[in-house]
Homo-oligomer: A and B are copies of this chain.
Amino acid sequence: MSQNDITPQRPAKEDYKRIATEEAFAPPDLFDMYRKVLADGKADAGFTSLWAFYLSSDAARPQHIRKYIQDLDTARLAHMDEAGIDIQVLSLTSPGVQVFDADTAVSYARTANDYLAEAVRRHPTRFVGLAAVAPQNPAEAAKEIERGATQLGMKGIIVNSHTQGEYLSDPKFWDIFAAAEAFDMPIYLHPSTPPPKMIEPFMEAGLDGAIYGFGVDTGLSALRIITAGVFDRFPKLQLVLGHMGEALPYMAYRLDYMHRATVAANRYESMKPLKKRPSDYLRENFYVTNSGVAWEQAIRFAQEFMGVDRVMYAMDYPYQHVLDEVITLDNMNMATHDKKAFFQTNAERVFKIG
């Protein structure tokens, strides 16, 4: 419980560090590059829906995001202090380099990672970095994972769901998984807007973004990775899903039942037997964070399903920058050890912090 009887404006000091694990940044030139992609008509419907809005709207939310997402010094640290966030685990905002042509993507992933590594060097007690990679060129992505791990001090990898409609379940991308496993780097599988072959029924109703389309597409990404047998090939690989696991924990029973039934009936060439049940991979090869979801009931569900050691805190700054949510989470009715695992020790272990 919080130490004050009256709910404070700011989160109180607690007996744990707060490590926020899905926090976004953008180097100063990224938005100009995104504007160019939009101007050139090369963007798909999802990217256009998302970034034409965030880059141009005068509403308070996009203004707040544009104002703070590029800052990796004074303003961000002040917001962290105000919210009681000790450490941000930082990643290039979605869809990162995955909207660019392959050469630009490879080159800009390096640029963005150098930029992030420099910020981490300036504020080594406050920032931790995840390396961006360009799935468009899996061999170069694998090299960048190695460079991130061995030269830049990166503690994981960020990938935003599909890359121009292609999912990491395709074996052509598996050099990325091999490198992640070899360098013991967890992959944060972050949302992107759904690809063109999926987005229309969502977009018609304004449901393509964080409200629903993000979660559905990222859940699909994760499920495709599971059912393609990635974890049978790379058993030590660890993925991180935000937004309470993009609903997959809640769906676990049906995933297991229908996977078993579908495989037994030999219905699809693309769905072959696995060594374990889908829910086993969710429990053994995934961590989930509560990004966007300051709701004890869902957090406790995920803890019960995944184990308390696999559920971590995230704020989703600057997209969801709400101090009351931190206070709500501080006040969860949860054993001291479990709450510290949620806010601090799980992230320290997963991202090798401290």
Binding site for B on A (CB under 8 A): 53, 57, 59-62, 162, 165, 167, 169, 194-195, 197-202, 204-207, 209-212, 215-217, 219-220, 223-224, 227-228, 243-244, 247, 249-255, 257-259, 261-262, 264-268, 270-271, 292-295, 297-298, 301, 304-305, 320
Contacts and interface: CB of A to CB of B under 8 A. Distances in A.
A261 to B, nearest CB: 6
Nearest to A263: B206
B223 A212 contact: yes
A209 B261 CA distance: 11
A301 B268 CA distance: 33
A305 B296 CA distance: 12
Contact of A201 (B195, B255, B301): B195
A253 B247 CA distance: 12
A298 B205 contact: no
A266 B206 CA distance: 10
Contacts of A217: 201
Contacts of A199: 198
Number of copies: 2
Nearest to A195: B201
Given A211-B258, A223-B205, A250 B61 contact: no
Given A216-B216, A320-B257, A57 B250 contact: no
B297 A304 contact: yes
A288 B257 CA distance: 19
Given A60-B265, A212-B258, 10 more contacts: A194-B201, A197-B201, A198-B199, A205-B223, A206-B270, A206-B271, A207-B220, A252-B295, A258-B292, A297-B301
Nearest to A210: B258
A223 B207 contact: yes
Nearest to A297: B304
A210 B217 CA distance: 16
- Residue among A57, A247, A259 with the highest chain B CB neighbour number at 10 A: A247
A69 B337 CA distance: 51
- Residue among A162, A198, A244 with the highest chain B CB neighbour number at 10 A: A198
A310 to B, nearest CB: 15
A206 to B, nearest CB: 3
A160 B199 CA distance: 20
Contacts of A247: 247, 250-251
A302 to B, nearest CB: 9
Nearest to A259: B211
Given A206-B271, A211-B258, A265 B61 contact: yes
Nearest to A255: B211
Contact of A254 (B62, B202, B292, B304): B292
A201 B220 contact: yes
B293 A215 contact: no
A61 B216 CA distance: 27
Contacts of A254: 210-211, 215, 243-244, 292-293
A224 B212 CA distance: 11
A295 to B, nearest CB: 4
A205 B270 contact: yes
B264 A59 contact: yes
